[in-house]
Chain A
Amino acid sequence: MERRCLDAQNKGVSTGTTILAATFDGGVVIGSDSRASVGGEYVSSKTINKVIQVHDQIFCCMAGSLADAQAVLKAAKFHLSFHSVQMQSPPQVIAAASVLKELCYNNKDELQAGFITAGWDRRKGPQVYVVSLGGMMVRQSVTIAGSGSTYIYGYVDAKYRPNMTREECLQFATNALALAMGRDNVSGGVAHLVVITKSGVEHVVVPGDKLPKFHDQ
């Protein structure tokens, strides 16, 4: 086990992941797989939670080193909670993304973590932001990240349409995760999805065997 850890290029347990988020008419869907691996050869957890709630209607997905991502999200939760107490109102989604961006950019030499933030706020409605490894923050209507995302760029570019219905968007996200999990060795497990709308938050978990199959004999 020690050898496995020493050989790992990434720091210890990596989320080696597929994460995505997409906006639809009236809300946003954010989702991830649930595999955590060490050194690209051992699955250290089949059920790791990568979709973290940082505030009532704001969720973040993590990619990269599990330790770094968990530490950054802990700090982000604290900052957001403090910010919302000071402002006496729920934080905006861009605030959450900015907190992550500041942490990732200012500590870019030590950290190896990327995030997708998605949520709903009163000002701008449903939003998705991606904060990449070096600390770049960009708002997009649909975004994918993690090692498994490379296998689904084509699918996402071809199949995503703005203003889908909730069911269409959920199916789109499930399909995308299933395709990525099917091709990427460090993505797998169950598909965790969260649907965030004005009225609230809904968790959808699709177990591995119930995921859509694409030419799997």
Chain B
Amino acid sequence: MALVNVLETPAGGFSFENASRNAALEKIFEGRKTPTPLKTGTTIAGVVFKDGVVLGADTRATSSEVVADKMCAKIHYIAPNIYCCGAGTAADTQKTTDILSSNLAIFSLNSGRNPRMVMATNIVQDMLYRYHGNIGAHLILGGVDCTGNHLYKVGPWGSIDTTPFMAMGSGDLAAMGILEDKFKPNMEMEEAKELVRAAIDCGIMNDLGSGHNIDLCVITRQGVDYIRPFQESLYKDNRNTKYKYRRGTTAILTQEVVPLKLEVVQETVLRMDM
């Protein structure tokens, strides 16, 4: 259902604009396997604590069996008081959260109200439902608003669920184990941060699709603390990324200077009146 006061998203049904473009692109590969979309193969988790919400994510983005990005940012900004972790197809989560952020801002300006978690969840649920699961965005939205501290899980087909703790992504089973074991209602901030860190860490250690650093985002009434990275990977490479060499690295054997004689053919001066 389209919300009034929201930027126009294409009405009703799946949009087939790109079907002919996709067919042309597939022809380029001449029947060989087309490249698979970049997936975040992820562990994301969220926990509600006494004063707010903690969101956590790993930072590995994979493309089949290759790690495409070691420092991928999976916690996206939605509103000053709402952030969203995304798992699934990287492009889909990034674009969906971008669109959600814009639509929510417009909706807030038009209605004159600060953004609420239920607003954000409804907007993204409507959008994902319209595409019937073809947008591979598995999201955990977390935020603090006038009604309290909330966490919502949105599936790619458009289903929503709300619980005080949740995990998604390929490492969700591992993370859920830690959360189920150690979660307590009304935890303090440090406890909650440590719980989310442990859950993501478990995902990193036990899931091949998750890895590298842990990012944390703590949202409270007072504000947002986006800690990137909260925990760094044990495996660091000391790569010298300076590829500029000083003069004389390559020995000069001979040198010949040939001056180019240039004639002035035409000269025009344009005055700029400042």
**Chain A residues within CB distance 8 Å of chain B:** 1-2, 5, 11-13, 36, 42, 44-45, 47-48, 65-68, 70-71, 74-75, 78, 110
- Cβ of B157 within 8 Å of any chain A Cβ, yes or no, is yes
A-B contact pairs, 26 of them (CB 8 A): A1-B138, A1-B172, A2-B136, A11-B132, A12-B133, A12-B156, A12-B159, A13-B157, A13-B159, A13-B161, A36-B159, A42-B173, A45-B163, A47-B163, A48-B161, A66-B155, A66-B159, A66-B161, A67-B128, A67-B133, A70-B125, A70-B158, A70-B159, A71-B125, A71-B129, A110-B132
Q: How far is the CB of A10 from chain B (nearest CB, A)?
A: 9
Which 7 residue pairs of A and B lie closest in terms of their CB atoms, listed nearest first? A12-B157, A67-B157, A66-B159, A67-B159, A67-B158, A13-B159, A11-B157
CA distance A5 to B133 in the complex (A): 10
Supplied contacts A70-B125, A71-B125, 17 more A-B pairs, CB within 8 Å: A1-B172, A2-B136, A2-B170, A11-B132, A11-B157, A12-B133, A12-B155, A44-B161, A65-B157, A67-B133, A67-B155, A67-B157, A68-B157, A70-B158, A70-B160, A71-B129, A75-B1
Which chain B positions have C-beta within 8 A of A75? 1
- Cβ of B168 within 8 Å of any chain A Cβ, yes or no, is yes
Which chain B positions have C-beta within 8 A of A74? 1, 122
CA distance A45 to B272 in the complex (A): 70
Tell me the count of chain B residues lying within 8 A, CB to CB, of chain A.
27
Which chain A positions have C-beta within 8 A of B155? 12-13, 66-67
Interface members, chain B 24-46 (any A CB < 8 Å): 39, 41
Decide if the interface of chain A is mainly helix, strand, loop or mixed: mixed
Q: How far is the CB of A66 from chain B (nearest CB, A)?
A: 4
**Chain B residues within CB distance 8 Å of chain A:** 1, 39, 41, 87-88, 122, 125-126, 128-129, 132-133, 136, 138, 155-161, 163, 168-170, 172-173
CA distance A71 to B159 in the complex (A): 8
CA distance A67 to B154 in the complex (A): 9
Which of A12, A42, A65 has most B Cβ within 10 Å?
A12
CA distance A75 to B87 in the complex (A): 28
Which chain B positions have C-beta within 8 A of A48? 161
Q: A2-B39, A45-B163, A67-B157 are in contact. Are A11 and B133 (CB under 8 A)?
A: yes
Q: Does A1 lie within 8 Å of B125, measured CB to CB?
A: no
Q: How far is the CB of A69 from chain B (nearest CB, A)?
A: 8
Q: How far is the CB of A110 from chain B (nearest CB, A)?
A: 7
Which chain B positions have C-beta within 8 A of A68? 157
Which chain A positions have C-beta within 8 A of B128? 67
Which residue of chain A has its CB nearest to the CB of B161?
A45
Which residue of chain B has its CB nearest to the CB of A3?
B170
CA distance A47 to B39 in the complex (A): 29
Q: How far is the CB of A34 from chain B (nearest CB, A)?
A: 11
